[in-house]
């Protein structure tokens, strides 16, 4: 089958469960033979589509589908402006689809093409958040009863809203703050005026804005009432408010509560999401060491990654990093100097399976495990690619789980299965997953303010918080 060529490249937009997905389908000159890949960049999908249709598709059409390494390298260097989420997401979709085709040609799952399985299934972690320690614990209990052994935990900071948390309560007593009804800062006249002006201008609910349900939006620190924070939550910004010290205090309190309630038989993870200063991050990593986290995620932003050396010198808290990296080269110094324990790169951000398998191999040599980024905005196709690497890699660590909705399962026949706290492959050739194009058309993209970008999280004084 050395004469199988790329005939056509198609980009498919679909939103089966309120998350915008970008899928690449490559047809070949062999009738009925095609491959699918994930190029999802949910905040900026249209530039990815343009990069594929206007540049990559004409470049690879007519090329031999077996020449994946050459196609990847030549596509990479031909862009001139290398790396970045747009070009690398586009290239990832192409790359995954080619691996899917190669597996089908060989009548083998992709993990067998890579050398075979190192395990039967891939353990995953799920997410538990809530307005209180008790609520988080109750969510954890339900997951544990379903067989999950690794759980990422986030709790709302009293009076604030932070990434990964449910909405913060106001006007209620808590163990950490007896009165949060007035918001995180004093109710000065200029703040009152500022909030009033902007709350009137922002009538769209967060669920309308982002295309997620009210219950889903609660997970990410947005208002459960569907408002952008009214006058009861006074600050210099009507969106998400974050302050480092209350956040760290709440998180430490949560870890203590979990260990008292469940002991150390359950693995817990936590995501800082680069929102605190580097020196605060060093202090935080030291403080949480005693709670034995499975890992502490994204402690510093990529710009501040040299601070990981300081963490290494002072504590043994396992560190995961990489979600914001957009190039395979970004992570090399971190791995070479053994400053992290888990690599969290998003496969669709760095160019697909071809570079990811090389990173995994390098990690094995350095004693660093994989923990590929895999939230809900990774398509089922992207998770199938994650799973292929997870099953093959000797240094696999953990996989972030996505619990697929019923619409997604119908649009993407062959979705990886979640059971017993693990993700399982169906063993079919290629990536083992397909797309129902006609059904996908029934879930077009919804209109979004600002093109779908996440709302900006700010300090109480109005300053922007990373990332």
Q: Express each pLDDT in 61-120 by its tens digit.
A: 999 999 999 999 999 998 777 788 899 999 999 999 999 999 999 999 999 999 999 999
Task: Tell which phi-psi region holds residue 107, choosing left (phi > 0), alpha (psi between -120 and 50) or beta.
Answer: left
What pLDDT, on the 0 to 100 scale, is given for residue 197? 47
Instruction: Locate 377 and state its tokens.
Output: 């905005």
Instruction: Locate 434 and state its tokens.
Output: 């397909």
What pLDDT, on the 0 to 100 scale, is given for residue 236? 44
- Summarize pLDDT for 307-326 with one digit per residue, the tens: 999 999 999 999 999 988 88
What pLDDT, on the 0 to 100 scale, is given for residue 207? 30
The residues carrying an active-site annotation are: 163, 273
3-state secondary structure of 315: coil
With 0-12 / 13-18 / 19 or more C-beta atoms within 10 angstroms meaning exposed / middle / buried, residue 303 is exposed
Q: What angle do CA 213, 216, 222 make, to 5 degrees?
A: 95
Question: How much is the pTM?
Answer: 0.85
Three-state SS sequence of 395-419: CECCEECCCCCHHHHHHCCCCCEEE
Low-confidence ranges of the chain (pLDDT < 70): 1, 158-241, 449-456
- Rounded Cα distance, 182 and 233, in Å: 6
Going from the C-alpha of 343 to that of each of 40, 111, 180, 452, the distances in angstroms are 20, 19, 38, 27
């Amino acid at each position: 089958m050395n004469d199988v060529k790329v005939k056509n490249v198609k980009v498919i937009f679909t939103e089966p469960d309120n998350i915008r997905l970008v899928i690449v389908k490559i047809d070949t000159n062999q009738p009925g033979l095609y491959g699918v890949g994930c190029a999802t960049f949910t905040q900026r999908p249209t530039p990815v589509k343009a990069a594929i249709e206007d540049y990559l598709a004409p470049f690879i059409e007519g090329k031999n589908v077996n020449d994946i390494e050459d196609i990847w390298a030549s596509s990479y260097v031909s862009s001139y402006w290398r790396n970045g989420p747009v070009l690398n997401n586009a290239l990832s979709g192409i790359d995954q689809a080619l691996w899917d085709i190669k597996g089908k040609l060989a009548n083998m799952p992709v993990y067998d093409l890579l050398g075979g399985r190192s395990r039967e299934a891939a353990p995953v972690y799920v997410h538990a958040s809530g307005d209180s320690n008790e609520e988080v614990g109750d969510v954890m209990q339900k997951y544990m009863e379903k067989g999950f052994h690794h759980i990422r935990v986030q709790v709302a900071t009293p009076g604030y809203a932070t990434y990964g948390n449910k909405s913060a309560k106001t006007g209620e007593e808590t163990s950490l703050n007896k009165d949060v009804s007035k918001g995180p800062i004093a109710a000065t006249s200029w703040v009152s005026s500022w909030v009033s002006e902007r709350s009137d201008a922002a009538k769209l609910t967060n669920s309308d804005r982002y295309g997620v349900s009210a219950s889903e939006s609660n997970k990410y620190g947005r208002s459960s009432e569907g408002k952008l924070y009214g006058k009861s939550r006074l600050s210099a910004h009507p969106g998400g408010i974050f302050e480092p010290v209350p956040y760290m205090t709440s998180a430490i309190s949560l870890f203590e509560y979990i260990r008292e309630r469940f002991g150390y038989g359950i693995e817990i993870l936590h995501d800082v999401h680069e929102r605190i200063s580097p020196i605060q991050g060093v202090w935080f990593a030291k403080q949480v060491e005693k709670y034995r986290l499975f890992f502490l995620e994204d402690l510093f932003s990529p710009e501040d990654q040299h601070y990981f050396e300081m963490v290494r010198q002072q504590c043994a808290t396992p560190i995961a990093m990489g979600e914001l990296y957009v190039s395979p080269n970004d992570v090399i110094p971190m791995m070479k100097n053994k400053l992290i324990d888990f690599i969290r790169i998003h496969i669709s951000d760095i160019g697909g399976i071809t570079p990811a398998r090389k990173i995994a191999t390098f990690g094995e040599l350095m004693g660093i495990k994989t923990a590929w980024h895999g939230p809900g905005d990774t398509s089922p196709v992207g998770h199938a690619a994650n799973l292929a690497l997870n099953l093959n890699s000797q240094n696999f660590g953990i996989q972030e789980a996505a619990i697929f909705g019923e619409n997604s399962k119908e649009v993407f026949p062959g979705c990886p299965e979640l059971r017993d706290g693990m993700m399982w492959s169906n063993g079919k050739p290629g990536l083992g997953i397909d797309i129902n194009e006609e059904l996908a058309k029934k879930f077009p993209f919804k209109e979004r303010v600002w093109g779908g970008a996440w709302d900006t999280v700010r300090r109480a004084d109005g300053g922007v918080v990373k990332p």
